[in-house]
């Protein structure tokens, strides 16, 4: 083990850690609530402490959902953010990059790269705005419209996976609870 070894070790630009002298009570593990692993009697790692935290559950769920989305749309190589960009442009052709970025909560600097990639694939095109020559009007190409229709069918399949995972009613309740965040 490099860390904590007695031999001097080379560390590039990282602060020295774990001074060898400091070691806490290495005896029988006792948890911070005073009980000796009472939450481990089932052999699993106790996480009661995180159970009441909305953010933790939401994070884990979001990871699952995105992974399923990426898997389900893997054959067409479209990720969630790319899908959301194409969907917004498809429903609102002519939007500027700023407008799309604001609507989706994406940094405009990042949208540049997302659009570069979609434009290379000839799914989206930038058109110079006639009224404001600083801005681009965004459109789907003919190919992009056809492709988006397919992406939407796959996304619907993905939504069915979500419904299978948490239950149809729960999915609908979830969408209702989070409707402000759409």
Partner DNA sequence: TATTGTTATACTCTATAACTATA
Partner DNA sequence: TATAGTTATAGAGTATAACAATA
Q: Is 134 in the site for DNA (CB under 7 A)?
A: yes
Q: Which of 79, 139, 161, 171 binds DNA (CB under 7 A)?
A: 79
Q: Which of 48, 75, 77, 131 binds a second copy (CB under 8 A)?
A: 48
Q: Is 29 in the site for DNA (CB under 7 A)?
A: no
- Say if residues 115 and 126 touch (Cβ distance below 8 Å): yes
Q: Is 145 in the site for a second copy (CB under 8 A)?
A: yes
Which two structure tokens, joined as six digits, stand for 81?
A: 């953010």
The binder of 171, among a second copy, DNA, none, by C-beta within 5 to 8 A per type, is a second copy
Q: Which of 25, 43, 107, 131 binds a second copy (CB under 8 A)?
A: 25
Measured from the CB of residue 133, what is the shortest distance to DNA in angstroms? 3
3-state secondary structure of 139: strand
Q: Is 11 in the site for DNA (CB under 7 A)?
A: yes
Q: Which of 9, 10, 15, 74 binds a second copy (CB under 8 A)?
A: 15
- Say if residues 153 and 87 touch (Cβ distance below 8 Å): no
Cβ within 8 Å of residue 100, ≥6 positions away: 85, 88, 89, 106, 111, 138
- Among 67, 72, 65, 71, which Cα is nearest to 152's? 72
Q: Is 53 in the site for DNA (CB under 7 A)?
A: no
Q: Is 156 in the site for DNA (CB under 7 A)?
A: no
Q: Which of 7, 10, 29, 109 binds a second copy (CB under 8 A)?
A: 29
d(CA 117, CA 111): 10
Burial (CB count <10 Å: 0-12, 13-18, 19+), residue 10: exposed
Residues that bind DNA (CB under 7 A): 1-4, 9, 11-12, 63, 67, 79-81, 96-98, 101, 106-110, 112, 115-116, 126, 132-136
């Amino acid at each position: 083990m490099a860390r904590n070894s007695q031999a001097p070790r080379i560390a590039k630009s990282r602060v020295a850690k774990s001074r060898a002298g400091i070691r806490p009570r290495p005896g029988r593990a006792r948890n911070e609530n005073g009980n000796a692993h009472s939450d481990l009697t089932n052999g699993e790692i106790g996480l009661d402490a995180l159970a009441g935290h909305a953010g933790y559950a939401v994070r884990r769920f979001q990871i699952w959902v995105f992974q399923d989305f990426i898997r389900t749309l893997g054959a067409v190589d479209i990720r969630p953010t790319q899908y959301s960009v194409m969907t917004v442009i498809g429903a609102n052709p002519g939007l500027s990059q700023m407008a799309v970025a604001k609507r989706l909560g994406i940094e405009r600097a990042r949208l540049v790269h997302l659009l570069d990639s979609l434009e290379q694939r000839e799914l989206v095109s930038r058109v110079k705005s006639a009224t404001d020559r600083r801005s681009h009007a965004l459109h789907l190409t003919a190919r992009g419209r056809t492709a988006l229709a397919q992406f939407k069918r796959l996304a619907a399949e993905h939504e069915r996976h979500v419904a299978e995972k948490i239950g149809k009613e729960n999915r609908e309740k979830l969408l209702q609870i989070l409707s402000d965040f759409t």
